[in-house]
Amino acid sequence: MDMIVIPAVNMTPILPEIFLSVLAMALLLINVFVPGGQKTYLAYISFFGIVASAVLVAAGWGSHVESFSGSVVLDNFATFFKMIFLVAAGLAVLISDRYMEREECNHGELYPLILFTVVGMMLMASGTDLMTIFLGLEVMSVSLYVLAGFNRANKKSNEAGLKYFLLGAFSTGFLLYGMALIYGATGTTRLYKIATIVGQMTLPSANIMLVAGMLLMMTGFAFKIAAAPFHMWTPDVYEGAPTPMTAFMSAGPKAAGFAALLRIFLLALPTLQAEWSQVLWVLAVLTMTVGNITALRQDNIKRVLAYSSIAHAGYALVGFTAGNGTGTAGILFYMLSYAFMNIGAFAIIILVAKKGETNGNVSDFAGLGFKKPVLAVVMTLFLFSLAGMPPTAGFIGKFYLFSGAVQKGYIWLAVIGVLNSAASVYYYLRIMVYMYMKDATEEFEWVQVTAPVALALIISAAGSLIPGIIPSIILEYAQMAVKLI
Amino acid sequence: MSNVLSLTTFLPILGVLLLLFIPKDSKGVLRNVTLAVTVVTFLVSLIILTGFQSNAEFQFIENMPWIAAGPFVMRYNIGIDGISLWLVILTTFIMPIAVLSTFTAVEEKVKEYMICLLLLETGMLGAFISLDLFLFYIFWEVMLIPMYFMIGIWGGKNKIYAAVKFFIYTMVGSLLMLVALIFLYFKGLEAGITDFGLLQFFSLKLDLATQIWLFLAFAFAFAIKVPMFPLHTWLPDAHTEAPTAGSVILAAVLLKMGTYGYVRFAIPLFPEAAHKFAPLIATLAVIGIIYAALVAMVQEDVKKLVAYSSVAHLGFVMLGVFAFNVEGITGGMLQMINHGISTGALFLIVGFIYERRHTRLITDFGGLSKQMPIFATIFMIVTFSSVGLPGTNGFVGEFLILLGAFEGQLRWWTVVATSGVILSAVYMLWVFQRVMFGELDNPKNQKLLDLNAREITIMVPLLVMIFFMGLYPKPFIDKMDPAIKKLVAQVRISPATAQVIPVSTQTQIPEGHPGAQQMPAGHPGGATPAAVNQGSSPAPQQVTPAVNPHEAK
């Protein structure tokens, strides 16, 4: 009788994942067995868990370890993205507590779910097998569906959860179908092996099964990163979900989607770059333009940022279209900066909003500039960073993304990108117009900055400003991270 | 004092840090501290002026590593030559005046206003001293933010419209320039250039088609800032709505960014394209001169009139610069400073009467000279300066521009532009007459007070400069002359370089290419870039002698 031989497994590449999973399960149990309505301690435990996990992740910088028969890898690329996820999750946890209390949906399950999402995203970034990546994606998505609908008493939150679930499931179908076709065409799901086999094909672009698989996978991920024309769910979900979760969703999962996209397309399908970059070109232009043009007409500030988040995916796709070192390093840099600036902006929105998610229109910011000057200055910083004005991280990020395109010869793509960027300035300015140039109708006396929120704001402000002045501190790592793929 | 240039640039930022610690209710302290900071900045900048050697080299250079990531190397590379020197001094000179003018004009949100002013000063100085293209771009963009808030928060009735229009107009231009900048960098990288340092790019040889595209992108960004006809529409709005200090800085310094951009970047980086577009740009400049003068004539609002006069004056600057000879560019540079002083002074004057009467309509005034004799005298001197009366600064600049342009290849443009001088006298003297002379029949005007000591203090330095530059411009010209001569030599299209180009592109275009032969020689710049692109091989050879007869002899 043959024994099933289990190969020696090296657990180091997934240590942070294991740590966070254990922590999440522990938190679930603590939540059940410790009585009382106050869940603040869970937020603190999660935050410190995230910090500890960040230390674990950082310790892996520079190493290259493959494990689980080459289906998971620990490399700088994965490490960089894991840091982005942890930043997004850490900031989201910091801004969640007070919000959840205000909205009276302070259930302890929130924090374990955030941690599970992070585990899923981490697997997506470090997976080198289509199945691992898919597994990670599902872990992430299922947790996110719950998080989007977390405010059970709120109709819009319910709608967000359901919508996200239905469309997410739909897009997963595309993704899986694409993966199946790739498997059919190459006979493997390991990315390295796919690359070898596709490399040996005489004319891979004529292999219909392969190309169809590639396109279907792209569609699946386009849903996840909210690229037009697969972005329809985004505004509704972003508006309905609890604001801290919107902030988290716009930064973390989007970065995870890009991580998986970059890994699959640059590692497994570089021979088809001429084909997929054409599709991406169109996708990038559509995404930027649709996002920005639609954002111009929004009044609800969460919807403004939802559409702006679509546009930002478009900018990142510009760098992806280029697919060169400059462009991909730009994506990494941009995703990290975006986590800081966008979550920071959402933190301010949470502060200004009132119970039941009211007071969430752009006009409700009228006069904030002189009633709460510090908050307004910080918000201004986030908005300028989102708009891509120097000297902020957002500018440097866009500079590298568009440079990648110019370097590769996609000059018109860069031109369309900057024109979009100029159009986007209008709706960011509009928020500032209300903050500084309209008279206050409110005293904003309900705006209370608690310690965790203050910490989140300080971290986000520093993350939006400092890399804009000394970009090397992050760009160097981004450059190293993309060298491997 | 090796880093006096950095010190000048960032002193205002230190001032901002100081202001943050002053409570916002102590308005007097805030004002005086800001004034002190700008005065100290001016005094420090005088060290630069006295230490500046009259030669063509860049001086006070500081060059430190800043960013090095991926294909890009950006350095903190600053320095000035005779061209940027005077703009730096103009900026530091105008700032205390602008600050002093706000002492009674701005009563609300004083702290924020002062912070904006100081941030703006750093942005403007930084843009003038940058020798790294990327660094320049950063300062160029950063400048927008405080100005946007100044117009939008402390402006007039349509402030929001004006502020957003100002911001977006400028942003569109500069973002296109950014793409050109990146493209230029990669071109340089291929040729062995190692960073964004401006001076290295001067020796970069680009083929004409590339030059044309890049020049268009740069020229578009700068044309919006100048502003040149027909991209000028943001200016009257911004000027009319901005608070007095904002208008003064906008006119005196910010608009010079555009013309400076041509002189420092667009022309020397892409000399052949600049020559090719000279007729087009000169045409737009002349249209600007005449059109703005005509529009100014029928304005009812004094401030709007001054704003349009700005457009006309900067048209002269552009005309001089695109003459590509020493006289023209010297005149253009002098006119930049003159315009800073005289239009700055005009906006201050408009501010004075607006503060007293809260109206700027010409029909609301008349006969003020009887009530306000000091004001009348000052206004008259400034008016003379603005119309370019001999003996005032305005004359020297305009004369040199017209001389340079006439001697250059822009003879017929000069003839038309000269009529603009007459038109400017018409609208300026007419507005002066309607406001100052006639019957003092409006009862509200009968109680007006003449200028107080503070207001006179503001105007005296400007008046001194008006006469000093008008009667003895030599020290100014001496300092800028070597740099301008060098620039003229740099942009001169020698037959040698003109012949290099066809060799490099000939291979791409088959002989007897129909597009190449149909391309008329000396096509007046209005050619679409695509057409120019096709015809690039024969065009330079034929254009060169036609474009630049002055340099040839």
In a domain, A433, yes or no: yes
The mean per-residue pLDDT over the stretch B328-343 comes to 91
Q: Tally C-beta pairs within 8 A across A and B.
A: 92
Helices (H), ranges, B358-452: 368-371, 373-387, 393-407, 411-436
On whether residue A5 sits in a domain, the answer given is no
Residues B476, B401 share a domain: yes
Q: Do B400 and B459 reside in the same domain of the chain?
A: yes
Q: Is residue B363 located within the same domain as residue B318? A: yes
Given pLDDT bands bounded at 50, 70 and 90, which one contains residue B1? Answer: low
pTM of the model: 0.89
Contacts of A299 (CB under 8 A, 6+ apart): A361, A362, A363
Q: Which of A229, A246, A224 minimizes the C-alpha distance to A237?
A: A246
Alpha-carbon distances, residue B456 vs A97, B305, B437 (angstroms)? 59, 23, 21
Domain that holds residue B506: 498-552
Judge if B354 and B415 occupy the same domain: yes
- What's the confidence (pLDDT) of residue B543? 38
- Beta strands of B12-164 (E only): which ranges? 59-69, 72-80
Q: Which residues of B touch A409 (CB under 8 A)?
A: none
What's residue A47's pLDDT?
93
Chain A residues 317-356 within an 8 A CB cutoff of chain B: 325-326, 329
In a domain, A333, yes or no: yes
- Which residues are registered as beta bridge partners of A190? A129
Q: Is there a single domain that holds both residue B439 and residue B512?
A: no
A-chain residues near B176 (CB < 8 A): 415, 418-419
The verdict on residue A452 lying in a domain is: yes
Of A329, A370, A373, nearest to B70 by CB-CB distance is A329
Interface residue A475 vs chain B (CB under 8 A): yes
pLDDT tens-digit readout, B24-49: 888 888 899 999 999 999 999 999 98
| 3-class DSSP assignment, residue B61 | strand
**Has residue B516 got a pLDDT over 80?**
no
| Cα B155 from Cα B243, distance rounded (Å) | 5
* Any domain includes B213: no
Average pLDDT, chain B: 84
Asked if residue B376 is part of any domain, the answer here is yes
Among A109, A117, A143, A84, residue whose Cα is nearest residue A27: A109
The predicted pLDDT at position B260 comes to 93
- pLDDT score, position B157: 84
Domain termination site, one of B440, B473, B492: B492
Q: How many domains does chain A have?
A: 1
pLDDT of B224: 92
Are both B281 and B332 inside the same structural domain? yes
Contact between chains at B69 and A370 (C-beta distance less than 8 A): no
Contacts of B72 in chain A (CB under 8 A): 403
Residue A2 resides in a domain: no
Closest-CA residue of chain B to A328 = B70
pLDDT of B542 higher than 70: no
Report residue B537's pLDDT band, with 50, 70 and 90 as the boundaries.
Answer: very low
Q: What residue of B is the nearest CA neighbor of A470?
A: B67
Please indicate, yes or no, whether residues B480 and B520 belong to a single structural domain of this protein.
Answer: no
pLDDT of residue A484: 65
Residue B480 falls within a domain, yes or no?
yes
Closest residue, chain B, to A430 (C-alpha): B164
List of chain B residues whose C-beta atoms are within 8 Å of the C-beta of residue A470? 67
What are the φ/ψ torsions at residue A320 (nearest 5 degrees)? Answer: -70, -40
d(CA A96, CA B224): 45
Arithmetic mean of pLDDT, B240-246: 87
Q: Among B458, B492, B526, where does a domain finish? A: B492
Q: What is the pLDDT of residue A1?
A: 53
Domain-located, residue B180: no
Tally of domains within chain B = 2
CB contact under 8 A, A326 and B137: no
* Closest A-chain CA to B190: A407
Inter-chain residue contact A391 with B142, CB threshold 8 Å? yes
Which chain A residues have a beta carbon less than 8 Å from that of B143? Answer: none
- Residue B240 included in any domain: no
> Do the domain assignments include residue A309?
yes
Measure in Å the smallest separation between the Cα of A458 and chain B Cα atoms. Answer: 18
Residue B322 lies inside a defined structural domain of this protein = yes
Which of B443, B470, B492 is the last residue before a domain boundary? B492
Predicted local confidence at residue B222, as pLDDT: 93
B159 vs A437: CB contact, 8 Å cut-off? yes
Say if the Cβ atoms of B138 and A390 lie within 8 Å: yes
| pLDDT tens per residue across all 485 residues of chain A | 566 776 677 888 888 999 999 999 999 998 888 877 677 888 899 999 999 999 999 998 888 888 888 889 999 999 999 999 999 999 999 999 888 888 888 888 899 999 999 999 999 999 999 999 999 999 999 999 999 999 888 888 999 999 999 999 989 999 999 999 999 999 999 998 999 999 888 887 778 899 999 999 999 999 989 898 888 899 999 999 999 999 999 999 999 999 999 999 998 888 888 889 999 999 999 999 999 999 998 999 999 999 999 999 999 999 999 988 889 999 999 999 999 999 999 999 999 988 877 888 888 888 888 888 899 999 999 999 999 998 899 999 999 999 999 999 899 999 999 999 999 999 999 999 999 988 888 888 888 888 899 999 999 999 999 999 998 889 889 988 888 65
> What pLDDT, on the 0 to 100 scale, is given for residue B281?
92
8 Å CB contact between B200 and B189: no
Residue numbers of the domain that contains A144: 12-483
Of the candidates A326, A411, A472, the beta carbon closest to that of B68 is on A472
- Together in a domain, B419 and B437: yes
Quick one: B531 and B466 in the same domain? Answer: no
Higher pLDDT among residues B468 and B520, named by residue = B468
Q: Quick check: B145 and A389 CB within 8 A?
A: yes
Rounded to a whole number, what is the distance in Å from the CA of A403 to chain B's nearest CA? 6
Residue linked to tokens 């805030």: B30
Q: How many whole angstroms separate alpha carbon A83 and alpha carbon A60?
A: 11
Distances (CA, A) of B36 to B19, B41, B43, B108, B461: 12, 8, 10, 20, 16
Question: Rounded to whole angstroms, how far apart are CA atoms B114 and B205?
Answer: 45
- The C-alpha of B71 sits at a distance from chain A's nearest C-alpha, in angstroms, of 7
Q: Do B168 and A429 touch (CB under 8 A)?
A: yes
Q: Are residues B417 and B507 in the same domain?
A: no
B443 and B471 belong to one structural domain: yes
Residue B47 lies in a domain: no
Region of poorest pLDDT, from A147-156, B310-319, B361-370: B361-370
pLDDT, residue B494, reads 58
B377 and B511 inside one domain: no
A399 CB neighbours in chain B (<8 A) are 178, 182
- A-chain CB neighbours of B154 within 8 Å are none
Q: What is the pLDDT of residue A406?
A: 92
- Tell me, what's the ipTM? 0.91
Q: Which residues contact B43 (CB under 8 A, 6 or more apart)?
A: none
In a domain, A3, yes or no: no
